[in-house]
Amino acid sequence: MGTCYAHLDLEERQKLARWREAKLPMKEIALRLGRAPSTLYREMRRNRFVDDE
């Protein structure tokens, strides 16, 4: 069976966005949120916005 991952909630996503804008290292953000860095990278990849124009 596969592993079950818990997605970030809205508050965690907002914190992630603010801290990335503030240039905090991903490891520091992961420690603050109590999440694995890979979870945060996965979340960012899943929810990124790409403007094709």
Cα separation, 33 vs 22, whole angstroms:
15
The average confidence (pLDDT) of the chain is 87
Give 33's pLDDT tier (boundaries 50, 70, 90).
Answer: very high
Q: How far apart are the first and last CA of the chain?
A: 41
Question: What are the structure tokens assigned to 43, written together?
Answer: 């979340």
Domain limits of the chain?
10-46
At 7-25, the pLDDT tens digits run 889 999 999 999 999 999 9
pTM for the model:
0.77
28-33 LR contacts (CB < 8 Å, sep 24+): 33/8
